[in-house]
Amino acid sequence: MNILGMKKKIGRVLETILTVGITALMLAGCTMADRTDVKQIKIGVTLYDQYDTFLSELMEDFNQDLTKDVTTEVYNASQSQKTQNEQVSKMIEDGCRVICVNLVDRTDPTTIIDLGRKNNVPIIFFNRELVEEDLQRWSGLYYVGADAFQSGILQGELAAVACNADPSIDKNGDGMIQYIVLEGEAGHQDAIVRTEYSVNTLIDAGVKVDKMGYAIANWNRAQAQTKVTQMIEQKGENIELVLANNDDMALGAIDAYKAAGTPRSKWPAIFGIDGTKVGLDAVQSGEMLGTVYNDRAGQAISMFRLAYALATGGKTDNLGLEDGKYIRLPYAKVTSANVGDYLDRQ
């Protein structure tokens, strides 16, 4: 072969190598693009306060539900609506396909709704329920939570059964139950509704009650302890019943009685709501007479399934959506009789 022939052959070989290489690169590029598109789903989550006991347990469940093709971006809004709005904006920029929002201020969802609508990113609000008019403002808005009315009613029923069955709860024997209420945040749907329905259910069940006071303790154990300590100082051992809007505040009341050195026989009957791990332990030990289980595992899996379906264009009609927008998990009563079933789920 002369020099010219050799040059031509080398040229053809190089051309073939180049063509195969480019095709391989194109295929690889295509596969990578497909993988990013179909298999890598990013879901954003922002919490009003990551130190809230119930929500941190809900997030533990949510993280366990995640499938391998999902990554998450999770933020703590530290009780600032402004911070939360910025987090949602950042998550949209980062490519989150759905964002789960535990609103800081349930009356102020406008910025987040507008961001979702403008960028066509569905928003699943959870746990802190916004008003229906806001949820109707765009088709890509959803709510996952529970029915606050039911939790109040069930707590009232638990307290009524205990008061009717055990005359020793009426420590001073005046035929009335002297009670206090520990409330969550002012303006929170669960706090407002639980307080009202718990007390009304108790009264409807024929228990005569005498309200000795109430305190807002923001779902928080330490704040509840401080408030109940003040009440013990003012009212001595006269409180016969504590209705707390959640377990952490019920536990704060228990902490206050322990710190005050009140003998166990002189404690009031104490009821919570949530069935957190510490709450269930207190029911098992008998320090809390009962709680109402707030189905965090059910809420977590429902939120994940809905987010996944929305992110992948999948069906949502088999997910139990009411009015195409709401998923609400039922509450359940927990006492020493069935607490074992709930502890087994932990």
Spatial CA neighbour of 71 closest among 47, 36, 104: 36
Question: Of 44 and 184, which has the nearer Cβ to ligand GAL?
Answer: 184
Tell me the DSSP string of 306-338.
HHHHHHHT---TTS--BTTTEEEEPPEEE-TTT
Spatial CA neighbour of 266 closest among 144, 142, 134, 171: 171
Token pair belonging to 64: 């366990």
Question: Of 85 and 150, which has the nearer Cβ to ligand GAL?
Answer: 150
Minimum distance from CB of 259 to ligand GAL (Å)?
A: 22
Report if residue 302 touches ligand GAL, rule: CB under 6 A: no
Question: Of 57 and 170, which has the nearer Cβ to ligand GAL?
Answer: 57
Minimum distance from CB of 36 to ligand GAL (Å)?
A: 35
- State which of residues 129, 183, 240, 274 lies at the interface with ligand GAL (CB under 6 A): 274
Minimum distance from CB of 274 to ligand GAL (Å)?
A: 5
DSSP tag of 239: -
Question: Of 217 and 311, which has the nearer Cβ to ligand GAL?
Answer: 217
Strands 241-244, 177-183: pairing kind? parallel
DSSP tag of 130: P
Question: Of 91 and 148, which has the nearer Cβ to ligand GAL?
Answer: 148
Report if residue 106 touches ligand GAL, rule: CB under 6 A: no
Site string for ligand GAL, 211-230 (x = CB under 6 A): --------x-----------
Report if residue 92 touches ligand GAL, rule: CB under 6 A: no
- State which of residues 97, 128, 171, 305 lies at the interface with ligand GAL (CB under 6 A): 128
Token pair belonging to 32: 């990578």
Minimum distance from CB of 58 to ligand GAL (Å)?
A: 8
- State which of residues 81, 127, 220, 299 lies at the interface with ligand GAL (CB under 6 A): 127
Place of tokens 């009232």: 156
Question: Of 207 and 339, which has the nearer Cβ to ligand GAL?
Answer: 339
Minimum distance from CB of 192 to ligand GAL (Å)?
A: 12
**What does the alpha-carbon distance between residue 292 and residue 270 come to, in Å, rounded to a whole number?**
12
Q: What is the separation, in whole angstroms, between the first and last Cα of the chain?
A: 80
**What does the alpha-carbon distance between residue 16 and residue 10 come to, in Å, rounded to a whole number?**
10
Q: What are phi and psi of 67, to 5 degrees?
A: -95, 165
Question: Of 178 and 246, which has the nearer Cβ to ligand GAL?
Answer: 246
The amino acid at 307: A
239, 179 in Cβ contact below 8 A?
A: yes
- State which of residues 150, 195, 198, 294 lies at the interface with ligand GAL (CB under 6 A): 294
**What does the alpha-carbon distance between residue 344 and residue 346 come to, in Å, rounded to a whole number?**
6
Q: Which helix (H) or strand (E) holds 128?
A: none
- State which of residues 76, 155, 201, 246 lies at the interface with ligand GAL (CB under 6 A): 246
Report if residue 327 touches ligand GAL, rule: CB under 6 A: no
Of residues 28-67, those binding ligand GAL (CB under 6 A)? 52, 54-55
Question: Of 55 and 215, which has the nearer Cβ to ligand GAL?
Answer: 55
**What does the alpha-carbon distance between residue 14 and residue 278 come to, in Å, rounded to a whole number?**
71
44, 239 in Cβ contact below 8 A?
A: no
Contact positions vs ligand GAL (CB under 6 A): 52, 54-55, 127-128, 184, 190, 219, 246, 273-274, 294
